[in-house]
Amino acid sequence: MTAVYYVIRDMRHEDIPEVMHVDREVFPNDWTYRSQLAFQRDLENPSIRYIVACTVGKSLSSSREAKSRTNWVKRLFNYCWDDHTKDAIVGFSGFWMMLREAHIIAIGVRHAHRRHGLGEALLLATIELAASLNAGVITLEVRASNEAAQALYKKCGFHVVGKRLRYYSNNNEDGIIMSTDDIHSLTFQAHFQQLKRTHAEKHHNIICLVP
């Protein structure tokens, strides 16, 4: 058997073309796509952060993994910071900060890499990164028909706070507004840390290098 390894890291300028492909695949019905120039401006804006999920080289045998997880993680860390390495971007997440609110711009994973825990991993990393930047709450909009995404957000501590009527212009679909409570509260953090532990135990092949 083989195991595909993924790493979640900060987005770089050279990632933009691949992230644009993911954007178009995951959000084909949105009213506009983020352009290369828009992504470039976002990466230069200190109030906006993007992270990516990428595959790590070729698949590795599970027996090799079992021999030395510690050495593998060290190699992985060095690999991910090698500027000459070309990773295959399979997912991304972005948010912008306004005062103490982090608003999620988008979270998406390519169809072929779904059901591997990457969507949840990106969301957990986004929450932790926002917390490290002193965000108090995190908000987002999601299509009313996207029940799978809403279920994931609720699992991670979001709840419905409103609705934007006919928010999505391609089909006049409503947008559901969701928000967390204070992400630094004891209640939220207890739930969040348990989610992280459970996810890490289930998905050993996803390594997060942010925040």
Does the structure show a pLDDT above 80 at 167?
yes
Contact in structure between 31 and 169 (CB atoms under 8 Å): yes
Over residues 121-130, mean pLDDT: 98
Here the tokens at position 82 are 């090698």
Here the tokens at position 159 are 């709840």
Contact in structure between 110 and 53 (CB atoms under 8 Å): no
pLDDT confidence of residue 169: 82
Long-range CB pairs of 10-16 (<8 Å, 24+ gap) are 10/49, 10/50, 10/51, 10/52, 10/209, 10/210, 11/43, 11/50, 11/51, 11/52, 11/92, 11/94, 12/43, 13/40, 13/43, 15/52, 15/87, 15/89, 16/40, 16/43
Does the structure show a pLDDT above 80 at 206?
yes
Q: Catalytic site residues?
A: 141, 153
pLDDT confidence of residue 32: 56
Does the structure show a pLDDT above 70 at 33?
no
Give yes or no for a cis peptide into 17 (omega within 30° of 0).
Answer: no
Over residues 176-183, mean pLDDT: 98
Q: How confident is the model at residue 34 (pLDDT cuts 50, 70, 90)?
A: confident
pLDDT confidence of residue 72: 47
pLDDT above 90 coverage of the chain, percent:
73
Judged by average pLDDT, the poorest of 1-5, 78-82, 93-97 is 78-82
Over residues 25-35, mean pLDDT: 75
pLDDT above 70 coverage of the chain, percent:
82
* Strands of the 173-179 sheet, one edge to the other: 159-168, 173-179, 137-143, 101-109, 88-98, 48-55, 6-10, 206-208
Query: pLDDT digit string (tens) for 49-69?
Result: 999 999 986 544 443 443 444
pLDDT confidence of residue 28: 83
Q: What is the mean pLDDT of the chain?
A: 87
Q: What is the DSSP string of 30-82?
A: SS-PPPHHHHHHHHT-TTEEEEEEEE-SS-EEHHHHHH-HHHHHHHHHHHHT-
Residues forming beta bridges with residue 3, ordered by sequence position: 60
Structural domains of the chain, with CATH: 2-208 (3.40.630.30)
pLDDT confidence of residue 43: 96
pLDDT confidence of residue 65: 45
Residues ≥6 apart with Cβ < 8 Å to 117: 199, 202, 203, 206
Judged by average pLDDT, the poorest of 31-35, 90-94, 108-112 is 31-35
Query: pLDDT digit string (tens) for 131-162?
Result: 999 999 999 999 999 999 999 999 999 999 99
Query: pLDDT digit string (tens) for 84-105?
Result: 445 699 999 999 999 999 999 9
